[in-house]
Structure 1
Amino acid sequence: MRRVVITGAGTINPLGHSVSETFEAFREGRCGIGELDIRDVDRLSIRIGGQVKGYDPETRFNRQQLALYDRFTQFTLIAGEEAIRQSGLEFSGHLAAEAGVVLGTSGGGLNTQDENYRVVYEEGKNRVHPFVVPKLMNNAAASHLSMTFNLKGPSFTVATACASSNHAMGQAFWLIRGGAATVMITGGSESMLCFGGVKAWEGLRVMSKDACRPFSANRNGMVQGEGAGVFVFEEYEHAKARGATILAEVVGFSMTSDAEDIVMPSTQGAARAIQGALKDAGIPAEKVGYINAHGTGTAANDKTECAAVARVFGHHADRVMISSTKSMHGHLIGGTGAVELLACIMALKDGVIAPTIGYEEPDPECALDVVPNVARDAKVDYVLSNAFAFGGSNAVIALKRA
């Protein structure tokens, strides 16, 4: 089996419009959650979110492009451009045929859906734009990325709710490791912060009205976010031969199904995914120094995840650092694992562990080292990134320091 490394990273999210800005926010423990600036926000009971601020699509894309690009596609192309530029790769000839795209999203073009439902049902119009379908479809971002950068290999989209990005990155890892591709552009994107997107999540009654406080005893729910994270996964020998800078190595991936409940998480399912990633990476639990938690800030998720970590890591559980960056950027749903992988890369590359901010009161059922409120300097060789989704879909990625 071939080795897989990461040679490029890009992002736009509530903490920054680039990887460097996001790393700086992680180090500072900055919060990107605030009051929502969307249409009809006064009709919502939840009025906060991790919104990408200071972004004007008309400065990045022309009128013809904006007719085709939903907000989640725009985010993908911005992050993808940064990642590919950092990698130094150009896709032509043989390499173009061996390079593809696999991205994660849950809602796809939800802003486009919301706008056009409003046009038909509220405004009473009987026609919509002819490009509504290609604009809202879940694979739009992956397709536009492949067309923009001439990526002619495997191209598809994974939609498994909050595990979408991790599942996508795991598939990219397997495609290269198994010899089906040399380079894969992968990650995820989401933009659900529109009236319909927030209203739908309100119905679940799991949303906080003030802050995301993972693992803290006084937490009161999750907070939605938006944005994208995109990476260049590359076969190691190919990267080495061209002298590429390697950010980290992908060494393991596992996915499991709870097969129990559509919304309630399972300790057993999460634990099997964590154990599976360790087994795939060929490492014992005690080698892992940091876990980027799913850490949504709901009691059900936090307690289940901590119990799963304790079950897998045993006596080592209190020595592994585990933090949730959702406390800073919110829950990006299908794009969340991609942005969170940035915290894993920062831990391995820079030796800085992103904190869990908003932590106020210890929870006896989450008695782990959650890196509360302040980033920490620490050298780690292996990290895990957890994603546990509605539907009982679990996906865990293992990375190694380059």
Structure 2
Amino acid sequence: MAERRVAQLTGVHAVSALGRGAEAQLAGALAGVPAFGAVRRFDTAARRVTVAATVPDVGTLPDELAAAVDAACGAAGLTGAQRVGCALLLAVHGGPVPGVGVAPGALADQLAARCGLSGHTRVYTSACVSASTAVADAATVISRGDANRVVVAAGYLVESDQFALFDAGRALAVDGAVRPFSAGRRGLLLGDGVVAVVLESSVGCRHGAEPLATVAGWGRAGDAFHPCQPDPTGAGMARAVDAALRRAGLPPEAVGYVNANATGTAQSDAAEAAALRRALGGYAAQVPVSSTKSVHGHALEASGLLELVVTALALRRGDLPVNAGWLAPDEACPLDVITDQPRRTTATHALTLNAAFGGANTALLVGAP
């Protein structure tokens, strides 16, 4: 019987307001100290909200992405020869790159050439599920044996246009804090995120890299309930979770942690809590849950990859991140939310969830290597 191919994370790199490097993301998430501060990258004088989680002295998005891809490939121990023929899946915003002006497809091609990745490129511009969708596609082609190695990269740097849209839509938290699942939550806050990961097959990629985690399962589902509002029943997100567990061949009780999509908005957090109850049944009340957006902000297209890295490293270390900004329980979110301090765990699997406008939902099931 042929050995089952599993997509393994062998190299990761991430940059956010929590710091540079993957370990800085985990340290910041475990510390539970939000990285939000006054925006100085552009003028916010006309805005209701003036804070975000931004990286000081950040480079252009192409430069930051190239550095992230090189660092992830280096962490995976890839030689120049091993990058040849490797595909690049890139998650970014759908318009011209701010400050550079190139289209996303051209950016992907330039990035691949710059980093020595000569396989095909593909761009994902499906808003807040862009990166997690790219990871699901990478895991699919690896599990089928169509590829042995794929690089997934994602980037969003807080800029004036998206900031203005979220502010005008009154989605940003006027109190300057993100409070997922908490009573008194006021909304989301944006944050920088530039991330790259190397996914490799568990079969045929023996070059000495120690896997950090596996992508054991993945699921995607759309509910098309409303252009902006989530389905309050959580049906779409629940189907995504069901698919991830089914693909991994695991029951709900295998999930030892959920890094939730929870953005700190009233409707979406309640809908996600409903989705977890729907997918996990009575076990949903026992699973430790937090949203690391409470410290690093919402990185839009890059969120799924940033949160995957944090989740994988947290599972590997055995410490689960804090849900910052917590004020009090909300009866619409009856979950075991991690507050005050990190929680020790011996769990071997965790879910990281993402959702986007238009009813798109993704679930990635992270497993210990």
TM-score greater than 0.5 by the shorter chain? yes
The partner residue of 1:36 within 30, 36, 39 is: 39
Q: In structure 1, what is the Cα distance between the partners aligned to 2:156 and 2:146?
A: 27
| Runs of 4+ with deviation above 3 angstroms | 107-110
Code of the residue aligned with 1:101 in structure 2: it is L
Question: Is residue 166–residue 338 contact of structure 1 (8 Å, CA) maintained in 2?
Answer: yes
Shift of 1:196: 2.1
Shift of 1:109: 4.5
Q: Which residue is 2:74 aligned to?
A: 85
Question: Is residue 12–residue 78 contact of structure 1 (8 Å, CA) maintained in 2?
Answer: no
Q: Which residue is 1:106 aligned to?
A: 93
Question: Is residue 271–residue 311 contact of structure 1 (8 Å, CA) maintained in 2?
Answer: yes
Q: In structure 1, what is the Cα distance between the partners aligned to 2:45 and 2:248?
A: 49
Q: In structure 1, what is the Cα distance between the partners aligned to 2:29 and 2:84?
A: 34
Q: Which deviates further from its counterpart, 278-287 or 33-42?
A: 33-42
Code of the residue aligned with 1:44 in structure 2: it is R
1:373 and 2:340 correspond: yes
Q: Which residue is 1:235 aligned to?
A: 201
The partner residue of 1:155 within 103, 118, 121 is: 121
Question: Is residue 153–residue 181 contact of structure 1 (8 Å, CA) maintained in 2?
Answer: no
Pairs within 5 Å for 1:3-402? 3-53=6-56, 55-57=57-59, 71-92=60-81, 96-97=84-85, 99-107=86-94, 109-112=96-99, 133-134=101-102, 137-191=103-157, 193-209=158-174, 210-239=176-205, 241-266=206-231, 267-402=234-369
Q: The residue matched to 1:142 in structure 2 has which SS? A: helix
Q: Which residue is 1:64 aligned to?
A: none
Percent identity, please: 29
Code of the residue aligned with 1:176 in structure 2: it is I
Q: In structure 2, what is the Cα distance between the partners aligned to 1:373 and 1:163?
A: 29
Code of the residue aligned with 1:360 in structure 2: it is L
Code of the residue aligned with 1:401 in structure 2: it is A
Q: In structure 2, what is the Cα distance between the partners aligned to 1:339 and 1:11?
A: 7
Per-residue CA shift, 1:239-287, capped at 9, x if unaligned? 3x22221100111111111122111112111111111111111110001
Which structure's CA Rg is the greater one? 1
Q: In structure 1, what is the Cα distance between the partners aligned to 2:263 and 2:255?
A: 22
Q: In structure 2, what is the Cα distance between the partners aligned to 1:72 and 1:376?
A: 34
TM-score after normalising by structure 1: 0.87
Q: In structure 2, what is the Cα distance between the partners aligned to 1:369 and 1:251?
A: 23
Per-residue CA shift, 1:6-51, capped at 9, x if unaligned? 1000011110111122221122112111111122221222201011
Shift of 1:327: 0.3
Q: Tell me the matched-pair count.
A: 363
Q: In structure 2, what is the Cα distance between the partners aligned to 1:109 and 1:189?
A: 13
Shift of 1:355: 1.1
Q: The residue matched to 1:101 in structure 2 has which SS? A: strand
Q: In structure 1, what is the Cα distance between the partners aligned to 2:106 and 2:33?
A: 32
Greater helix proportion: 1
Shift of 1:221: 0.5
TM-score after normalising by structure 2: 0.94
Change (3 A) 1:230 1:354: same
Q: In structure 2, what is the Cα distance between the partners aligned to 1:189 and 1:370?
A: 28
Please list every run of 5 or more consecutive structure 2 residues that lacks an aligned counterpart in the other structure. none
Q: The residue matched to 2:337 in structure 1 has which SS? A: coil
Q: Which residue is 1:62 aligned to?
A: none
